Amino acid sequence: MGSWIAIFAALGAAGTWLARAYALRRNMVDEPGERRSHAVATPRGGGIAIVAALLVAAIALGLRFPSYAPKALVFGLGLSLVAAIGWVDDHRPLSPWLRLGVHALAAALLAFALWHGGSPNWLVLAAFVLALGLTNVWNFMDGINGLAASQTVLVALAVAWMGGGEVWRWLALALLAASLGFLPFNFPRARIFMGDVGSGAIGFAVAGLIVLGADAARPWRGMTLALLLIPLAAFMVDSSLTLLRRVRRGERWWTPHTQHAYQVWARRIGHARVTFAYAVFTGLAVASLSLVTEVRFGFMLCMGAGWYISGAFFWWLIQRTETGSGGADS
């Protein structure tokens, strides 16, 4: 295990260094602006290193475990589709509806792989919804230094720990390791951003690993899926409540903005502290999983609901402080 993590951490770090050199040469740079949370021009596209490392891991594991190869192939294909449209968008802006269409295609491929493998219909539907949703959630939440990568590390740890299927556990460890290799370039000071190539593809990868790990945990598919949704609370709550509020206000919700709770909070206390606070919240959620593996399903659902309700309370509290200080919500 140690050598596996070391290899993919090295791939993530080396790939990020190469991606940064490429971005600077091609002038792929995010400039500061009113719809961005950074104050210094920073290259983008570093997430391609994590994607490349994960594809290498998927191929290696598919060759090592032939029975898993079809699903590993579909996982890699969907990941490549999302990464490719993000890579193009990092070079020149594309229509958000074109990107969403590609994301939906990748999610449909993942759902088809589960359906073809005989998974229950409810899990097939969950695969499509979760893949499409998390692809965009990770993109929404990749707005301050280290946030998306650190959350990826923690969620991948949960999948490796609680998910079923040897391949998916090793693939989750590869995602964890590659994200650790990327982090020093992005936190506490960002020398490169993930870019759309990284954030969207990593969201798809997280969704894929969760549903594939749950599927392999038969006959406890439902319990495993519910467990693995708990560490997503911070990202799911912040992204969904912010989106719903923008829709309610009649805003152009598909355009960039800085209204997420993590962005509001970062303006007050800085990127590093917010990233650390989110990591603590999700880290505690991951640690709590050990408390519910031997209890009734209903208790586990209640605990999961508690994490999401707590996240919603903190979201409201952070947004309220922005309103009280005369911020964007005033």
Angle, vertex CA 250, rays to CA 33 and CA 315, nearest 5? 65
Q: Is the dihedral of CA 132, 203, 71, 167 positive or negative?
A: negative
Every domain of the chain and the residues it spans: 2-324
Other Cβ atoms within 10 Å of 312 Cβ, number: 16
What's residue 22's pLDDT?
97
- The whole-angstrom separation of Cα 64 and Cα 55 is 14
pTM of the model: 0.94
Q: What is the DSSP letter of 32?
A: P
C-beta separation of 261 from 238 below 8 A = yes
What's residue 140's pLDDT?
92
What's residue 279's pLDDT?
97
Chain centre to alpha carbon of residue 58 = 18
Q: Which of 209, 204, 198 is nearest to 78 (CA)?
A: 204
Nearest 10 degrees: Cα torsion 306, 161, 226, 127: 130
- The whole-angstrom separation of Cα 176 and Cα 173 is 5
From first CA to last CA, the distance across the chain in angstroms is 51
Residue 29: beta bridge partners?
43
Other Cβ atoms within 10 Å of 138 Cβ, number: 28
What's residue 47's pLDDT?
96
Per-10-residue mean pLDDT, the chain, length 330: 93 97 93 69 94 96 92 96 97 93 98 95 97 96 94 97 92 98 95 95 98 92 92 97 93 86 93 96 92 71 90 94 50
Q: Which of 196, 199, 201 is nearest to 107 (CA)?
A: 201
Give 153's contacts (C-beta < 8 A, 6+ positions apart).
Answer: 176, 179, 180, 183
